[in-house]
Structure 1
Amino acid sequence: MRVTIVGAGVAGLVAAVEFAERGAEVEIVERASAIGDRACSWAAGGMLAPWCERESAEPEVVEKGAMALDWWPAHVGGVVRNGTLVVAQRRDLSELGRFARRTERFERIDGAGIATLEPDLEGRFEEGLFFPEEAHLDPRATLRALGETLDRLGVRIRFGIEIEPEEADGDVVLDCRGFSARDAVPSLRGVRGEMLVLRTTEVSLSRPVRLLHPRIPLYVVPRADGLFMVGATMVESSSARGVTARSAVELLNGAYALHPAFGEAEIVETRADVRPSLPDNLPRVTRNGRVLRLNGLYRHGFLLSPSLARAAAEEAFGLSETDDEAGRERLAS
């Protein structure tokens, strides 16, 4: 099977691995000049946290996202499985209770337990939730590592090429253009996300920490070299303009509330991007002839891309002559 993938974001790269490992001859075409140049996954948090996401997502996110906890370590290095810590200030402990009621597979811990997990947070929070099975990764390092994995699998990536999926060669064409595919997926909408990258040597964290707040829940994800990704904004908008002053203030205030040392941190980067979302915020594989469209990853790009890619591969390798022209749609599984 000859497969052409249009788009080298996380969906396209993971799909390429899945198809190549099944014996397909795979090529990726990407309009940008390098991996990550125009991909919203470049600004992702990289949290593999299906049970935390269950607090605001559908049950399918847990079911399908759990696959990512095994898929990523099997294909790239650098996946850290130290769990996720969720905390709230005393005045917001009701938010912690609400969070707990909406999810599962966590341990309730007190201030001493928080200090054991994250010594730099000692004395700052009285209660927390610890999700020991969850993990995180660095999206940028991971996307580059996927490129190396694909090179070993014999997958070629051609950059600087913009093409409509229907015009691409191949027995099967995967449309992995994300929000750029809204011309072909009318129900697609944009959800804007904003993030900051801070650098400080005054704080050390071993895992993602989520700080609950009624207005803007915040997550801080540790990276190498004293870097921390701070994010959580979700705005119903297709605008890709820069981070707004309000969002920057709220993210910085949240980071400061987690630990005052973030107030003296260096702001290394600010970035906003638009995440492709379907009406129910769940991804789908849709088919029209030889073109399969993988879209709707919403805020779960790294978490749900393995299950989405597997669904696409099962769909493609299961095609028969009798249903080749039939259009079908199903949830990623």
Structure 2
Amino acid sequence: MMRARVLGAGVAGLCVAAELVGQGCNVTVFDPVPRPGPHGCSWWAGGMLAPFCESETAEAPVVRQGQEAAGWWERQGVAVTRQGTLVLTLGRDRRELDRFGRRVAGHQTLDAEGLAALEPDLDGRFDRALHIPGEAHLDPRAALAHLRTRLESAGVAFVAEQGRPEGLTFDCRGLAARDRLPDLRGVKGEMAVLRSADIRLNRPVRLLHPRFPLYVVPRADGLFMLGATQIESDDRKRSVRSVLELLSAAYALHPVFGEAELVEIGADARPAFPDNLPRLSRQGDTIHVNGLFRHGFLLAPALARMAVEAACDRTRPEFWHDD
């Protein structure tokens, strides 16, 4: 039985471990804090499995490889909601919706009646929208906890140590891997979680805006995750400006959010390479899986599959990078 080490227990590391288990490998995962929690940037993710929306700014490989994410998470037993994505703009920003529609395939254009049929609680607030039905979302924290438990049940050992390369190793440490990947940079994302019993959304909603776009992702128990900030910084400070912009945009989506409970504010730095594309690379017996940028839950399944294929079959998959 092939043995493998995984360094890092975030979304990339857990996905790699799952792919290795699927190949019958004996797997040990090393992380100083190996249980999911606020120490890792995966904890602060939105959980949108929205490859077509990402085509607005992302390269074609992100869109193509991201389309396998929803099915992969479902096969792991994670609850995935397949209700698509709704895209809106305020009246003064109507051209943003037209621009988005020209860049994104697979969408349907809705009038006010069609929007109200999908999201009754937004009835009367917008007269146009785009619906991308082929997209999905999940709760990242629940997904991480479920996958960790599933891997333990499959015999994966989790060690609360940094770990080091020894034999076949998959380095999935995110920004901590800058000791081996010096061109990694941090891109800060900030988020807020609100709770309201006065509004229900069935799918993620993206509110386009020239200065501060917003996404709102519904979760269980009346919770809503707000996000969209993208700041060139690797600090984890929560800025007043970003929080104000998130909350103001949520209020513009629906005034009921003005009375919502502010449950949580968070920030973390996501690992990215200069081109914002993920990379697979090899240094000796170590394969690096990194640079997921803001596509962690969307691209980690495909990156994990390709990394394990590269190790087992010596292939050069998409996103391969020669150091």
Matched, 1:23 2:18: no
Aligned residues: 320
Query: Deviation digits for residues 168-222 of structure 1, max 9, x if unmatched?
Result: x3x3101110011112111111100000000010110000000011101100000
Q: 1:86 to 1:332 in 2, by over 3 A?
A: farther
Q: Deviations over 1:209-237 (max 9, x none)?
A: 00011101100000000100000000011
Contact 2:306–2:317 at 8 Å: present in 1 too? Answer: no
> Among 243, 252, 267, which residue is 1:257 paired with?
252
The match for 1:220 is: 216
Which residue in the other structure is 2:225 paired with?
Answer: 229
Alignment of 1:8-157 (within 5 A): 8-32=9-33, 34-157=35-158
Deviation for aligned residue 1:77: 2.7
Structure 2 counterpart SS, 1:331 = coil
Q: Which amino acid aligns with 1:193?
A: G
Shift of 1:279: 1.1
Answer whether contact 2:5 2:169 (CA < 8 A) is retained. yes
Q: Distance in 1 between matches of 2:198 and 2:70?
A: 30
Show CA shifts across 1:293-331 (max 9, x none).
1000000000000110011101110249xxxxxxx8950
Distance 1:244 1:330 in 2: 37
Segment drifting more, 310-319 vs 244-253:
310-319
Q: CA RMSD in A?
A: 1.5
| Letter of the structure 2 residue corresponding to residue 52 of structure 1 | C
1:300 aligns with 2:295: yes
Evaluate the alpha carbon distance shift between residue 318 and residue 119 of structure 1 in structure 2; reply closer, same or farther with a 3 A threshold.
same
Q: Which moved more, 1:121-130 or 1:143-152?
A: 143-152
Q: Does 1:201 align with 2:197?
A: yes
Aligned counterpart, 1:162? 162
Partner residue of 1:192 out of 163, 188, 194: 188
- Structure 1 stretch 73-82 or stretch 199-208: which is displaced more? 73-82
Structure 2 length as normaliser, TM-score? 0.96
Q: What is the identity, as a one-letter code, of the residue corresponding to 2:178?
A: R
Query: Structure 1: 5+ residue runs without aligned partners?
Result: 321-327
Out of 272, 278, 282, the position equivalent to 1:287 is 282
For the Cα contact (< 8 Å) 1:20–1:153, is it kept in 2?
yes
Counterpart Cα distance in 2 of 1:76 and 1:42: 19
Paired residue type of 1:331: F
Change (3 A) 1:73 1:332: farther
CA 1:122–1:94: 2 relative to 1, 3 Å: same
Partner deviation per Cα, 1:257-288 (whole Å, 9 max, x = no partner): 01100001111000000000011111111101
In the other structure, the counterpart of 1:331 is 319
In structure 1, give the amino acid aligned to 2:20: F
TM-score normalized by structure 1? 0.93
Give the match's secondary structure for 1:115: helix
SS at match of 1:313: helix
Shift of residue 152 of structure 1?
2.5
Distance in 2, Cα, partners of 1:156 & 1:223? 30
Aligned partners of 1:33, 1:297: CA distance in 2, in Å? 19
- Separation in 2, partners of 1:87, 1:19: 40
